[in-house]
Structure 1
Amino acid sequence: MSQPEHLRADYVHFQPITTRWHDNDVYGHVNNVVYYGYFDSAVNAYLIEQGGLDIHEGEVVGFVVSSSCDYFASIAFPERIEVGLRVGKLGNSSVQYELAIFKQGEEQACAAGRFVHVFVDRASNRPVSIPPALREAMARLIRD
């Protein structure tokens, strides 16, 4: 069964990331669990920079409640990569991000995944509506 293509043109925003020496495992490539860290870093950098998310003092925080990743080609330190980001579904208190890892300048993704954030009140951990500034930033990631 062939994997669906995940092309650079399918994504709206790109977050550059430099792989680190300790990202590699004993097989000489970036370990699978590290990809989730790349996804998390790309999304949160976008939300902080574009949506005003205050991770330290804000009343609302996002919890990851679901995630997955498919791998197509390996990457290894010292490669530079870019995480492609788009929003697949935007609900009242949740959002599903769709992400892909690209080697710098390449058109075909090395990996593609998704994760779901549920936004909650920091004090009560109860779901809340996504604040307007964050919602606007997320809406810009919806691919037409």
Structure 2
Amino acid sequence: MDRSGFKHFLPITLRWKDNDVYGHVNNVEYYSFFDTVINDFLIRVGGLDIHGGAVIGLCVESQCTFKASLEFPGVVDAGLRVDRVGNSSVHYEIGLFRAETDEPAATGRFVHVFVDRKDRRPVPIPASLREALEGITG
């Protein structure tokens, strides 16, 4: 999927520490970019209170397909869309793009299950989050 398939973007500035000894961004950082674009969206658009809210999202599945290297210095445009919203879970698709490119350097999927903060049991996705997530479904 190219850039046009994603509905929400977050530019992430690459850091010196993101590069590994081979001169490109280390694979573990791609998962950090996934977490960053998703949680930034949930907090800023969906109103998720990560510090004191009754509901939190737990990652139960993630996957990444590497297509091209990213390297410091630079900016990665993290694209986000929702593939499916369930009762307590959401399936995201992510694309990581170099600035001004349409083809992703990496694509991924990520599944959150929303749970009660205290007992960690699944709960329905709160209305404000559901509305935000449905806004980028497609």
TM > 0.5 fold call: yes
- 1:12 aligned residue (7, 19, 22): 7
Q: What's the CA shift string for 1:79-129, capped at 9, x where partnerless?
A: 111001000111000000000000011111000000000000001100000
Q: CA deviation at 1:15?
A: 0.7
Show the counterpart of 1:83: 78
Show the counterpart of 1:41: 36
Unmatched runs of 5 consecutive residues or more in structure 1: 1-5
Give the count of matched residue pairs. Answer: 138
**Superposition RMSD on alpha carbons, in Å?**
0.5
Displaced runs of 4+ in structure 1, greater than 6 A?
A: none
For residues 40 and 55 of structure 2, what CA distance do their matches in structure 1 show?
Answer: 16
For residues 18 and 98 of structure 2, what CA distance do their matches in structure 1 show?
Answer: 15
Identity of aligned residues (%): 54
SS at match of 2:45: helix
For residues 99 and 133 of structure 2, what CA distance do their matches in structure 1 show?
Answer: 24
Q: CA deviation at 1:55?
A: 0.4
Amino acid at match of 2:45: Q
